[in-house]
Every structure is written in structure tokens, then in C-alpha cells.
Chain A
Amino acid sequence: MSHQNCRHLLGSLSDYVDGELADEVCAEIDRHLEECENCRIVVDSLRKTIYLYKVTSGPPSVPEEVRQRLYLSLDLEEFIERKANSEMGKA
């Protein structure tokens, strides 16, 4: 990571993996990655890091007891039983 170019690109890599960079900057990084293995590894492992957090984060859910107490605290006891829509958050 001592290469001047590498350091200069570091702050852009997060935007780069999101595809949120202007075309010129993106092309510049593409060119650099072709010739710099270190940066390639950083980009790959950055992508992998984000991916791993995404896939292991699990579906949004509330433990049943927590959900029951939530409804009680909100004075919504009468709606506790209706679980039909509870999977909506997954969409």
C-alpha cells in the first residue's frame, strides 16, 4: 500500500463497490486494479466483507415474548394474535 496511486484511491473504494462513482473515476480505478494486485485484494475482500455481513444478518424478526410485551406496552393486546402480516418485513 505504499504506491502513491493506491493511497489516492483508497477513499473511493467504498463508492466504487457501490457503483456510485463518476465514469472517469471508475475507469481510473479499473485501470489501476488491472495492474495492482494489492488493491485488487483490498477490493475483493471489501466486497466479501459487505457480502458476509449482509448474508449473516438474518431476517428481521422479533422474539415472540418480546413481541407480546411490545403489544402490551402499546396497548394493542387485541391485535397480538394477528401474525399473518408478520413476514412482511422480509419483502
Chain B
Amino acid sequence: MNQEKRVEEFSLEALRAGNKAEFARLVEAYSGVIYRLALKVVEDPQDAEDVLQETFIKAYRALPNFDGRSSLSTWLYRIATNEALMTLRRRKSASVANTISIEEPSPNEDNEQEPIQIVDWCCLPETEMMSAEARAYMEKAIETLSPALRTVFLLRDIEGLSTQETAEVLNVSEVVVKTRLSRARMRLRELLSEYFGERAARRSTPEGENS
């Protein structure tokens, strides 16, 4: 990602002054990544659209006071991530009265989990690993992560933010980012190994039977 380059293409002065044309350029440049992130955090197109709109509405209001200490992209990611997490929180409190804060990794996720699945599935053909079914499974796997782990994984590995940028977006230390990223990745590895390992095993048995 070439974020620094993109940032330089915007006039902070015009943005702070509320220049609509310049703001429209910002929206055009970042709505795609913001929407993709929102969709993967909240997992619902309507909620993702709300997050997208709220993000830019809030950004427009806050721009006159934007101090430029973080880059525009990091700043936008921060607004969007907060909106998305707030959406999850609202949804959660609307469904079940849950006392565990959404920011807290659930107790299970606090522990480094030992790998259970040790299967070599890397030999599977890419077409099989990228089938519609496999992709659906991968999406589901992300959904099993707590919001805290999920956001770190999405920002680092999907959006391509650096550890430092991710720490800025989430307002946590870089150590926390690394720890959460490690847990998220290891958990996803576990889930993917379960899924693909079974397929790799099926391939190597001549009968190809799964019962």
C-alpha cells in the first residue's frame, strides 16, 4: 500500500477549510478500503454502509481540527474502526445482556494456544484453496475471532497497515498489536488446517472416500 503517497495528494488546508471538492477526492480515494474493512468487521452490508457513511460524516466534521499528527489514512481508519466496533457493541447489547466488554479478548484468547492441527496442506492446488466454498469457510473463520483480534488481523494483513499504524488506529501499544496479530493468525491457521488438512488427506488416499 502506498499510503504516504496518497496522503500527499491531498491539501490539508483545503480539507480543513471544508472544501467540498477536495473532500470528495478524499472520499473517492478511501471509501473502498473503509467499506471493505467495515464489511469484514461487522459482517453485514447494511451495517457496513452505515459505518461507511458515519465515518465520512464524522471525518468531515472533525477535519477543521485535524492536527496532522497521524496520517489521514490512519485517522480515517481510526474513525471507521471505532464506528464498526460501536456497531458490534450495540448489536451485542441489543441481543444478549453480555457483561464482557467487547474490547477485552475473551478468556480463551488470552492464552497462547498450542497448535493442534499439524497437517501439511500446502500441497493442495490453489484452485481448491480459493474455491467459493473455501472462501466462505475463511470468512466464517474470521467471524470466530473476537473483535479485538479480528480488527488487528484485518488492519495488518488485509489492509496492509504497519504495526505502528495499527497501534495508532486502535490506540494500543505495538506489543499489543503483535500479540493479538499472532493469536489471530495462529487461530486462523488452526481453522484453515482443519479444513484444508481434511481435503489434503482425502486427496492422498487413492479411494478418495470421506466416510
Chain A positions within 8 Å of B, measured between CB atoms, are 1, 7, 10-11, 13-15, 20, 38, 41-42, 44-46, 48-50, 52-62, 66-67, 69-71, 73-76, 78-79, 82-83, 85-86, 88-91
Contact = CB atoms under 8 A, between A and B. Distances in A.
A45 B193 contact: yes
A79 B24 contact: yes
A76 B114 contact: no
Contacts of A91: 1-2, 5-6
Contacts of A67: 31
Question: What DSSP secondary structure best describes chain B's contact surface?
Answer: helix
A60 B33 contact: yes
Contact of B24 (A55, A69, A82): A82
Chain A residues touching B, majority SS = helix
A28 B48 CA distance: 44
A38 B118 contact: yes
Interface of B: 1-2, 5-6, 20-21, 23-25, 27-33, 35-36, 45, 49, 52-53, 56-57, 60, 112, 114-122, 129-130, 135, 138, 142, 153, 157-158, 163, 178-179, 181-182, 185-186, 188-189, 192-193
Given A69-B53, A70-B56, A82-B24, 5 more contacts: A13-B182, A45-B117, A48-B192, A70-B53, A90-B32
